Chain A
Amino acid sequence: MASTTLTSPVAALPPAGVEPPRNVMPMGVLLLSASGAMLFGALVATYLHLRDVTEPWPPEGVKLDLYLGNLLIITMVLSAVTVEWACVAVRRDNRSQASAALGVTIGLGVAFLNLLSYTADQVPFDAASHSYGLVVTAMVMLLGITVGTGVAFVTLTLLRVSGRQLSAADPSQVRATACYWHFTVAASIAVWYTVAILK
């Protein structure tokens, strides 16, 4: 095969055009959400395994307050709506509505964390009480960290929207924030369904 040696190959390469918009953040959040799904999947699988091999399950004396659990889920589902509202507002370049929507989302997230902490205080067991207590504590703790991270993420996005750094021309961070927030809602529902419904 005939070949010619190039001393500076890059000079001979055709120049690339303008780099297209990359939207890297939504992709990153999507991948991390898949990881998060595996994390909570592992915990739910652990819960179900322990439930199968432990008698009685839940242990005697453990009675969960469904009212508080349902309130937690309603709070999170509401926040999923408000974060989508923020996405729509940014796409329409409506900064004040986007800021309001993100602010309400943060409020709902903080309310969720507050209620989760209160609920954890109310239950009559801790991680050392029994295997049920351990796995439920782990799920609640990791859910709290996940939602707390989400609140921080939404706050950062709110600051950038307020500072006119995000607009209809580049809504990728708001989309990424919404994507992460939906993951936290899904994780909350998975934990609630496992502990409160499947028991």
Chain B
Amino acid sequence: MFLVGALVFLLVGGAAGAVLRTELAREGVDLDIQYGRLLSLHATVATLLFLLPAWIGLASWLVPLQIGASRLAFPRLHALALWLFLLGGTLVVAAYILGRPVFELAEGLPKPGPDQGANEATSLAIMGLVLVAVSTLLAAMDLAVTVLKLRTTGLTLVRLPMFSWSVLITCLALLLATPVFLAGLALLYLDRHFGGDLFLGNTAGNAVWRHTLWLFGRPEALLVLLPGLGAACDIVATHAHRPLLGGAAARQAMVVFAAISFATWTAGPGVADALVLPTYSMPTALVVLPVAVVALVLLGTTVKGRPQLHISLLFVSGFLVLAGLGVLNAGVAAVVGVDGRAWTTGHLHIVGFGAPTMLFFAALYHWAPKMTGRHPSPKLGGAAFLGLFGGFALLGLGSYLLGYDGGPARLQDYEFTAGATTFNPLGFLGALMAVLGLAAFALDFLRIALFGGGEEAGDDPYEGLTLEWAAPSPPPPQNFESVPEVRSAQPLLDLRTPVKSGSRG
């Protein structure tokens, strides 16, 4: 349900983004919309209501399977978290229907709105975000406790499947980062509700708001990638039929990644006003290092294992290409200097959103046979990959090039110079491709869910390594008929491999 909710919010945010791109595609096109309100909705949904809840949803289903548990540690609390998320997300979207809240997550500072006093849209948005934040806290706590306490016998922390490991790290980081956001929201709500002016034009208040947002938003913007890295490791190892080459390094890189995601806060309000917009500080740049380590582990395992092509591997390779494109452009931008230009929009779509989204879809396609008992269609999966990968690449490329051409960020109507005329339609084409990719994905999964389409997958379609492949497909309510015992990080591989006396451990 978390997953379905997140995908519905993706549709809402994606629809808003598509309308924005239509507005920008051609000179003179005026859709008579409140561009700023739609942009704010698009950014808020993308930042808070899609990727993170989607990972939580997938983890809620997959983590117990991977650790050999029959359930989550606190299933009722998790159900509460789900309903809080759905209610909170709906309130946030409803707030944007009522009006434009005075603050925006993708910018930094609360701005005076049309109504200087507390208005319904702002109150509703704050309330919705509080519920989403509390939901995140509860779900993160539940997942962390599940991993820490419900692992089956023999499954030590260093033997955890990489996805579960990354979920544990992500949840611990979220438990520390999210309350800071809650504190900021509480202050903002009180200020607005009682008619104060701390956050409107007050320098001290602005600093407080920026710090609370940054201490939450910076880690959050990076942490949406972390479960994806774990999933990519499991996907590549499964299809390569071998343990990860340098798995320990990948584990450590994920911990370092989480630590650096907090350190990026030190890039601080002095660098830029934005919450998630890229900046060129050292901590931000350092994030590349652990990601590079994981990428090398993935490539090394692929070379050693020579896996068969699978849709999920296509998405992982798409992630690597987008991440590489982002790093390349960040390097160029650091030399050229593009702060405040449309370049930042491109970087957000490539690195901040596109790359982690590729990993999320990789995970969905990889574990779909376990989830549904059926294989997704390779043709529709290929179409989804082409649409999403091509879409994000073009969206990002259009904005990158416009930024290099001097085009400013966040303008409703560009003066249609030669650059804008060329590059904005590129972005529109990207948005269109992404929508088509999503449609192919939706068609494929609806075909399986509603009509029982797709080939039957069996319990272990890939000859997997980890415990989830030992459960029936789809898993029964208690997951396993008997909880298996584990003696290494690849219990199923151990069973298939003839064991020399005394060599197992």
A and B form one complex: yes
- The answer to whether A1 has its CB under 8 Å from any CB of chain B is yes
Contact B484 A14 (CB under 8 A): yes
- Beta-carbon contacts of A142-171 to B below 8 Å, as 1s and 0s? 100000000000000000000000000000
B-facing residues in A84-126 (Cβ within 8 Å): 126
By a CB distance below 8 angstroms, the chain B residues around A5 are 463, 496
Q: When the two chains form their complex, are residues A46 and B187 in contact, meaning their CB atoms are under 8 A apart?
A: yes
**Nearest A residue to B203, CB-CB:** A53
Provide the residues of chain B in CB contact with A127, threshold 8 Å. Answer: 190-191, 193-194, 196
Judge whether B190 and A134 touch: CB under 8 Å: yes
Judge whether A10 and B202 touch: CB under 8 Å: no
Query: In the complex, are the beta carbons of A16 and B68 less than 8 A apart?
Result: yes
* B204 and A126 within 8 A (CB): no
**Which residues on the A side are within 8 Å of B145 (C-beta)?**
24, 27-28, 31
Nearest B residue to A47 by beta-carbon distance? B208
| Main DSSP-derived SS at the A contact region | helix
CB atoms of B485 and A131 under 8 A apart = no
Cβ–Cβ < 8 Å partners of A32 in chain B: 137, 141, 175
On whether A22 and B204 interact (CB within 8 A), knowing A35-B175, A126-B194, A128-B196, the answer reads no
Tell me, rounded to whole Å, the shortest Cβ–Cβ distance linking A179 to chain B. Answer: 13
Asked if A49 and B484 make an inter-chain contact with CB atoms under 8 angstroms apart, the answer reads no
Contact, CB under 8 Å: A38 / B481: no
Residues of A within 8 A of B469 (CB): 9
Which B121-157 residues sit within 8 Å CB-CB of chain A? 137, 141-142, 144-145, 148-150, 152-153
For the complex, is A6 an interface residue (Cβ under 8 Å from B)? yes
Would A13 and B176 be within 8 Å (CB), given that A22-B149, A24-B145, A46-B208 are in contact?
no
State whether B485 touches A42 (Cβ < 8 A): no
Q: Which residues of A contact B177 (CB under 8 A)?
A: 38
Contact across chains for A39 and B484 when beta carbons are under 8 A apart: no
Report the Cα distance A50→B183, complex, angstroms.
15
Does B495 touch A at the CB level, under 8 Å? yes
Nearest opposing residue in chain B for A39, CB measure: B179
Taking CB atoms, residues of chain B closer than 8 Å to A45 are 211
Question: How distant is the Cα of A105 from the Cα of B204 in the complex, in angstroms?
Answer: 40
Question: Given the known A-B contacts A9-B460, A9-B492, are A22 and B150 also in contact in the complex, defined by CB atoms under 8 Å?
Answer: yes
Size category of the A interface is 35 or more
Judged by a CB distance under 8 angstroms, whether A174 is at the interface is: no
Which residues of chain A are near B150, meaning CB under 8 Å?
A: 22, 24
CA distance A35 to B202 in the complex (A): 28
Distance A47 CA – B115 CA, assembled complex (angstroms): 28
Q: In the complex, how many angstroms separate the beta carbon of A34 from the nearest chain B beta carbon?
A: 6
B195 within 8 A of A: yes
Given A31-B141, A50-B204: A39 in contact with B485 (beta carbons within 8 A): no
Q: CA separation between A129 and B125, bound complex, in Å?
A: 24
Specify which of A13, A24, A126, A134 is in contact with B484 (CB 8 Å cutoff). A13
**Cross-chain contact A35 with B137 (CB below 8 angstroms):** yes
Given contacts A4-B496, A35-B175, A127-B196, contact A23 B149 (CB under 8 A): yes
A22 CB contacts on chain B under 8 angstroms: 73, 149-150
A138 in contact with B190 (CB, 8 Å): yes
Asked if residues B460 and A6 are in contact (CB atoms below 8 Å), the reply is yes
Known: A10-B482, A22-B150. A53 touches B183 (CB 8 A): no
Does A38 lie within 8 Å of B470, measured CB to CB?
no
Do residues A39 and B180 form an inter-chain contact, with CB atoms below 8 A? yes
B175 to A16, Cβ gap below 8 A? no
- Report yes or no: B460 in contact with A134, Cβ–Cβ below 8 A: no
Report yes or no: B186 in contact with A138, Cβ–Cβ below 8 A. Answer: yes
- B491 beta carbon closer than 8 Å to chain A: yes
- Measured CA separation A50–B77 after assembly (Å): 36
Known contacts: A2-B497, A27-B148, A131-B204. The answer to whether A10 contacts B141 by CB under 8 A is no
A9–B496 alpha-carbon span in the complex (Å): 9
Interface string of B83-115 (1 = CB under 8 A from A): 000000000000000000000000000000000
* Given A9-B470, A16-B153, A50-B208, residue A38 in contact with residue B497 (CB < 8 A): no
- Residue B397 interfacial (CB < 8 Å): no
- Chain B contacts for A135, CB-based, 8 A: 187
A145 to chain B, nearest CB (A): 9
Question: Would you mind naming 20 contact pairs between A and B with Cβ atoms under 8 Å apart?
Answer: A4-B498, A10-B459, A10-B480, A17-B153, A24-B145, A27-B145, A35-B137, A35-B178, A42-B184, A43-B187, A49-B207, A53-B204, A127-B193, A127-B194, A128-B196, A131-B196, A131-B202, A134-B194, A134-B198, A142-B186
A contacts, CB < 8 Å to B: 1-6, 8-10, 12-17, 19-20, 22-24, 27-28, 31-32, 34-36, 38-39, 41-43, 45-46, 49-50, 53-54, 126-128, 131, 134-135, 137-138, 141-142
B-to-A contact residues, CB < 8 Å: 68, 73-74, 77, 137, 141-142, 144-145, 148-150, 152-153, 172, 175-180, 182-184, 186-187, 190-191, 193-196, 198, 202-205, 207-208, 211-212, 215, 241, 459-460, 463, 469-471, 480-485, 491-492, 495-498
8 closest Cβ pairs, A-B complex: A39-B179, A128-B194, A42-B183, A13-B484, A38-B179, A127-B194, A10-B470, A127-B190
